[in-house]
Amino acid sequence: MGVTTKIFGTTQAGEKTTLYVMTNKNGMQVSVLDYGANIVDIIVPDKNGKLEDINLGYDTVAGYEKNGPGYGSFLGRVANRIAGAKFVVNGKTYEVTKNDGPNCLHSGLKSYNKYMYETEIFEENDSVTVEFSRLSPDMEQGFPGNMDLTISYTLTDANELVIEYFAVSDQDTVLNLTNHSYFNLKGQGNGTVLDHKAWINSDMITTTDENLIPTGEYTSVDGTPMDFRTMKTIGQDIEADYAPLKQGFGYDHNYVLKHEEEGAVEKVAELYEETTGRCMEVFTDLPGMQFYSANHIGEEKGKGGKIYHSRDAICFETQFYPNTLNIPTFPGGRLKAGEEFESVTVYKFSVK
């Protein structure tokens, strides 16, 4: 186990950025950036031992300063959508940026993936951790409360990437943190993921309107193209004549995850690619997961000069449900002053 550092460039604001490269005993590498706490590289072996980067992204900090798709991104204070770009805390209405039609997406034009973070490194015998932290001040992005934030990335010798979130605020506030990495188990820039097979432990999605805003109701996946309870290729039903798929231009939906024990870190999803044998399992303690088939990537140059296209990756964004701030029956998304928020998501890689 170990971690090395390299200079990753200077931001437009003159901030020098550092890339932290974690390597385990199997040769797996995870690289994370102190600008935005972004995940830049996830390099894992295939069934023949060949190492490949399976995470879409950029070669320079300039790419991450733009990063419209949110490659590798740490998103908050409230990831996903807020209806009408407003919500109420303690009887007071707060308005945030409208950057998705009349709604707010990922907290507006500057999510947590566009700030600099302080860094600490922790090394154990079988794991290494890079921890990023910062203070999100009161009314940053329009959200109340000074919030101390920590996100840590741990690489283990079991080929696990463990993401841990911690937050505490001095006022009652709202939050919904996620990671927006785009995965392609054939390797970033190596074509479509429609041939990847996926499994999701979920019986329901949150019902949405035409703008993908949850209404507070639920839709059963039973007998629909949204059903991934039995592993199938992502492309099998993606073009089906089904309203939610038409609204999302493919998969872009929050799955209500099944947990044996509420709040426990449990396996909720799996991704498999046959030609490489690579497998990724997803574990989380959060109640929801946005399953997004990268429908809106448009002929963009990524790492190594490779060109990314629509549906060249898949996202598994563990989260509280979108628009939970405006739907009292939805779980989570609110934090009392002084209350500590902690959450864990794990991406575990193997071969079959």
What are the pLDDT digits (tens) for 8-52?
A: 999 999 999 999 999 999 999 999 999 999 999 999 999 999 999
- DSSP code, position 321: P
| Structure confidence at residue 347 as a pLDDT band (50, 70, 90) | very high
- Supply the pLDDT for residue 230: 98
| CATH number of the domain where residue 290 is located | 2.70.98.10
| pTM of this prediction exceeds 0.75 | yes
* CA–CA gap between residue 113 and residue 318 (Å, rounded): 16
Q: Which of 177, 230, 181, 179 is nearest to 201 (CA)?
A: 230
Three-class DSSP category at 322: coil
| Residue 197, CA atoms < 13 Å, CB-side half-sphere | 13
For the question of residue 180 being annotated catalytic, the response is yes
What torsion, rounded to 10 degrees, do the Cα atoms 22, 27, 28, 30 define? 20
| Structure confidence at residue 298 as a pLDDT band (50, 70, 90) | confident
Domain that holds residue 284: 2-351
Query: How far out from the chain centre does Cα 87 lie?
Result: 23
| Structure confidence at residue 1 as a pLDDT band (50, 70, 90) | confident
| Tally of domains in the chain | 1
Q: Which of 106, 180, 196, 253 is catalytic?
A: 180
Tens-digit pLDDT profile for residues 228-277: 999 999 999 999 999 999 999 999 999 999 999 988 999 999 999 999 99
- Supply the pLDDT for residue 279: 98
* CA–CA gap between residue 114 and residue 181 (Å, rounded): 15
Tens-digit pLDDT profile for residues 98-150: 999 999 999 999 999 999 999 999 999 999 999 999 999 999 999 999 999 99
Asked, as a colleague might, if the bond just before 77 is cis with ω within 30 of 0, I would say yes
Strand partners, 118: 133
Q: Mean pLDDT over residues 314-319, rounded?
A: 98
How many residues are recorded in the chain?
352
- Supply the pLDDT for residue 234: 98
| Structure confidence at residue 167 as a pLDDT band (50, 70, 90) | very high
